[in-house]
């Protein structure tokens, strides 16, 4: 007996395996959906940072991060958070390997991403709670607070607030500093995800979860409304008159770690630009500055130990006829080096100094030198460690009290705030980025100074050896700036202010309150987990 198999029957016989293949492919895609989304959220966070004016990308970034973490177990939250951290910090910090190779860059990003991983674990833990976007945003700020303190004094580079210099949330910096600004961005992003999730749930079930939907809507609306309400705190009105300030960018003879290998060339460059400004002032084409600001390391040799360097500085300062702040590496006969700013007065010479208080680990000093040397011999370029200063930096320059935060210090809330609480009417962030080439580092740092301007309602002047130097008004607007690796100077009249914003007055209190919100959410989630386990037993 023979059996004839028709084409239709053969096709029907093939259908189940084909359907099984499609199911398996779909399952594989679903398995990688959350990890891929977490990684994408980190990349979007990176893209929201300068030099790109795409601050708004932080909102979908947090929305996608919320989707990938919502309802996940703690271990999955940690892993997904780590992927998001790598997607964010690997491209953001690539400049750290500009001259020393990829190992330090990769190591730094890998370690710092652990803080994002722990935050991811915390977000996953609170994601089943009512009003979870509030707790999740608090957890994120708690993670940033920890990252800004440990290890080796912390590394706050990449705080979400520092990507918002062009954003609508910026006025919130004046309310509670970088923690409140970053919290608002994270809350809005998580709230967007929750709103979309609830709308999709309504479409699937027909039910309208009004309470949770209202909470999601408020998570989006409250940060935006708060930012609009904070606008009156942002002002550039000259409360204490104005000052005409000059910022000198002398440039360096070469990029990289050997930027100062030609003895006195960096100093000569800055002195030449200052004398050029003095000639323009004498000719009447530039206004007479009240004071002049040079960058960090603008004197590549110690003017106290080298009479020729002192003579060059004295000649430039006397020519411009204004007190000048000089950045120099001071080499005492014994002990550690000092990264110092010197107030140099015409006809008087050096009258005051400020030693950088937060020196940079692995840049200005090498922790665990013998261990680090196993991975990168460039650590021995730092043959003698820098030591930190202990005094707040405020100079009286021709009657204007100028607060000093040297380069890396601008990333730390306390290092800028206490200059204002000690009477600064204007801030300066002298920096040296010659070792980071033409990377995005200088733009990231400039954005920090813009946030600090609004946070404390002070004009900020950023003199940099090789760019970008800038003058920033108290509302965060850049009124003038230089190009990178171009000798130049800026002369601007800036407002002087003495009002203290809520952020200045409150100090670390907003951060502590947001950490308490995170702790409350984590505690509530832990208690619910214990009750659930007891109910199953």
Residues designated catalytic: 296, 356, 407
Identify whether the C-beta of residue 300 lies closer than 8 Å to the C-beta of residue 306: no
CA distances from 253 to 20, 261, 262, 334, 449 (A): 66, 9, 8, 30, 26
Cβ(321)–Cβ(275) below 8 Å: no
Contact assessment for residue 144 and residue 177, using Cβ atoms and an 8 Å cutoff: no
**Phi and psi, residue 350, nearest 5°:** -70, 130
Task: Report d(CA 62, CA 39) in Å as an integer.
Answer: 11
**Integer CA distances (angstroms), 179 to 83, 159, 333, 500, in order:** 23, 9, 42, 17
And the tokens for 25? 């492919």
Report the DSSP pairing between strands 426-428 and 460-462.
parallel
CA distance 174 to 504: 8
Which parts of 98-235 fold into alpha helices (H)?
102-126, 132-147, 173-205, 210-229
Neighbour order of strands in the sheet with 478-481: 394-397, 400-404, 426-428, 460-462, 470-472, 478-481
What residue has token string 């918002």? 164
Phi, psi of 326 (to 5 degrees): -110, 135
Would you mind telling me the total number of residues written for the chain in this entry? 537
The helix/strand/coil state of 491 is strand
In the β-sheet with 488-495, what is the strand arrangement from edge to edge? Answer: 349-355, 338-345, 324-330, 291-293, 242-249, 488-495
CA distance 286 to 245: 11
Query: For residue 171, what are the contacts with CB-CB under 8 A and spacing of at least 6?
Result: 227, 228, 230, 231, 233, 234, 454
Distance CA 108, CA 469 (A): 27
CA dist 139 and 182 (Å) reads 11
Q: How far apart are CA 124 and CA 74, in angstroms?
A: 6
Q: Which of 303, 291, 293 is nearest to 267 (CA)?
A: 303
Q: Please provide the distance, in angstroms rounded to a whole number, between the alpha carbons at the two ends of the chain.
A: 62
- Distances 182 to 126, 151, 159, 164, 256 between C-alpha atoms, Å: 18, 21, 7, 9, 33
């Amino acid at each position: 007996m023979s059996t004839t198999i028709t084409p239709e029957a053969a096709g029907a016989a093939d259908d189940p395996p084909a359907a099984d293949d499609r199911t398996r492919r779909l399952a594989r895609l679903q398995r990688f959906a959350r990890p891929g989304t977490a990684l994408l959220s980190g990349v979007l966070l990176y893209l929201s940072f300068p030099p790109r004016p795409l601050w708004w990308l932080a909102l979908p970034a947090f929305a996608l991060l919320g989707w990938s973490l919502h309802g996940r177990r703690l271990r999955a939250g940690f892993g997904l958070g780590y992927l998001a951290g790598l997607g964010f910090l690997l491209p953001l910090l690539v400049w750290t390997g500009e001259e020393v190779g990829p190992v330090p860059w990769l190591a730094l990003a890998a370690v710092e991403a652990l803080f994002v991983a722990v935050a991811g674990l915390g977000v996953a833990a609170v994601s089943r709670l009512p009003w979870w976007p509030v707790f999740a945003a608090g957890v994120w700020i708690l993670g940033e607070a920890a990252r800004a303190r440990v290890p080796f004094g912390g590394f706050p580079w990449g705080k979400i607030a520092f990507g918002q210099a062009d954003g609508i949330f910026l006025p919130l910096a004046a309310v509670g500093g970088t923690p409140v600004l970053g919290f608002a961005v994270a809350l809005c992003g998580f709230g967007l995800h929750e709103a979309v999730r609830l709308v999709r749930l309504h479409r699937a079930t027909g039910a309208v979860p009004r309470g949770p939907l209202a909470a999601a809507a408020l998570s989006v609306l409250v940060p935006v409304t708060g930012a609009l309400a904070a606008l009156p705190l942002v002002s550039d009105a000259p409360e204490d008159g104005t000052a005409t300030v000059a910022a000198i960018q002398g440039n360096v003879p070469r990029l990289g770690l050997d930027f100062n290998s030609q003895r006195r060339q960096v100093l000569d460059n800055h002195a030449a630009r200052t004398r050029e400004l003095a000639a323009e002032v004498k000719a009447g084409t530039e206004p007479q500055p009240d004071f002049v600001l040079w960058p960090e390391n603008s004197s590549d040799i110690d003017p106290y130990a080298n009479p020729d360097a002192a003579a060059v500085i004295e000649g430039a300062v006397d020519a411009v006829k204004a007190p000048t702040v000089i950045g120099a590496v001071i080499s005492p006969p014994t002990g550690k080096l000092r990264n110092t700013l010197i107030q140099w007065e015409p006809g008087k010479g050096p009258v005051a100094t400020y030693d950088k208080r937060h020196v940079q680990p692995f840049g200005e000093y090498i922790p665990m030198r013998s261990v680090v040397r196993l991975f990168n011999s460039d650590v021995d370029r730092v043959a003698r460690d820098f030591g930190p200063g202990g005094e707040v930096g405020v100079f009286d320059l021709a009657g204007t009290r100028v607060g000093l935060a040297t380069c890396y210090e601008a990333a730390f809330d306390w290092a800028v705030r206490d200059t204002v609480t000690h009477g600064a009417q204007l801030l300066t962030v002298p920096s040296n980025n010659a070792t980071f080439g033409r990377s995005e580092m200088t733009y990231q740092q400039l954005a920090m100074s813009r946030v600090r301007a609004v946070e404390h309602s002070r004009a900020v002047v950023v003199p940099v050896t090789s760019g970008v130097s800038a003058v920033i008004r108290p509302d965060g607007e850049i009124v003038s700036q230089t190009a990178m690796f171009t000798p130049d100077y800026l002369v601007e009249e800036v407002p002087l202010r003495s009002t203290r914003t809520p952020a200045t007055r409150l100090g670390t209190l907003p951060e502590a309150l947001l950490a308490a919100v995170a702790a409350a959410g984590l505690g509530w989630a832990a208690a619910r987990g214990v009750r659930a386990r007891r109910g199953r037993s």
